[in-house]
Structure 1
């Protein structure tokens, strides 16, 4: 569906997926963005009639807002012993396992940056930190043709806890922020199965259930 404009049915599917991942529909989140996109697309295709002439009220020079790929699921392995809660660093390390062979893209770097900011409370990119590594890898991968030569998520996120000067337990708000960052930087408006946002969502749900 990469070239298909978002329909109300697509928006409803995303609402269902977001509700399953986070337990509710987040105002301003991906499902809300898709719902807005359907409204814009519908408005762009409205026709008005003047006499015998029909004309389209649209913006032909602008692309249709929002494209969508149906979300799929991938197993996310999160270890939490006893009453211990999962931290952001641990959630990122889970993504290093579940999406180890995924080439790092801008959407991944954006999600990782959102996670690092929430873990450390620092808005600036930390030199030599995980965000810096992810951004550098995404830029390099964009110039690399062969996937096997690209830097993978597993390369960037393995032992990521050692790169975080501070860490914190994953909350639902953290997961929502990371999901929004990943989707906003993904042309298909979808998260990657088992990727950064998916691992954060799984960690938030695990923590919430304790």
Structure 2
């Protein structure tokens, strides 16, 4: 059987859609969740709440987007209507105490929740440009339990270099920590392995400097990620995917 014939018999995995995750309707319900969409939600959520909880819509979307890529249910460059329609996290009350919050994707409210409104919270999260630090935090959000490997360490080092302009890892910085973790993880129990979340959750504050993600940044990080990997040219790793999604968003703003 030819390679083309074998491929034609493969049954593609069904991607996780917005209808699977939220109370979405219409065209949005059947749309697959992508890394770009998830990063938009992470940015909107962070602007409103100042943090992203592990059970938040942003975290749920990041996890779904990662699964869609890892299972090859969608291609890395898959686009949806979300970037055009936008993502908003809106506060419906401004009085102290309980506040109702809506998560709106492409003009459709998909989640309603009640939270404690802080005086410093903005009323509506607006879509904005994404920095390298924020993209790394998005990667941590979607892959918080993934042990750091050599491919991750190379990508993190490149991202730090692009953010700071320094060619050598900062002492005790995220790149140095990632490199150490990648070397030590193979020799320790799974429970004790250092994860992506351990290193990148607060990447924005731990970088010595930061900058908006460009297509050049995303390309350099992807090249670093692949360095030394023989025959590896398929799905990007979690770091490169997050940087590429951020670069795509910034290009459209």
Equivalences for residues 58-137 of structure 1 within 5 A: 75=35, 77-78=38-39, 79=43, 81-82=125-126, 84-137=128-181
Shift of 1:75: 3.8
Give the distance between the partners of 1:92 and 1:138, measured in 2 at CA.
Answer: 17
Is this contact kept in 2: 1:75–1:98, CA < 8 A? Answer: no
* SS in structure 2 at match of 1:175: helix
2:239 aligned residue: 196
1:16 aligned residue: none
2:195 aligned residue: 152
* Aligned length in residues: 139
Is this contact kept in 1: 2:143–2:238, CA < 8 A? Answer: yes
* TM superposition score normalised by structure 2: 0.50
| Greater CA drift, 92-101 or 82-91 | 82-91
Question: What RMSD over aligned residues (CA atoms) do the two structures have, in Å?
Answer: 2.4
* TM superposition score normalised by structure 1: 0.60
- 2:234 is the counterpart of 1:178: no
Give the distance between the partners of 1:157 and 1:164, measured in 2 at CA.
Answer: 10
Output one character per residue of 1:69-127: Cα deviation in whole Å (capped at 9) or x when no partner: xxxx9646321553521000000000001111111011100000000000000111100
Is this contact kept in 2: 1:182–1:191, CA < 8 A? Answer: no
Is this contact kept in 2: 1:88–1:170, CA < 8 A? Answer: yes
> Which structure carries more relative contact order (alpha carbon 8 Å, separation 6+)?
1
- Which structure has the highest strand share of the two? 2
1:140 aligned residue: 184
Structure 1: give runs of 5+ residues left out of the alignment: 1-6, 8-72
1:167 to 197, 206, 210: 210
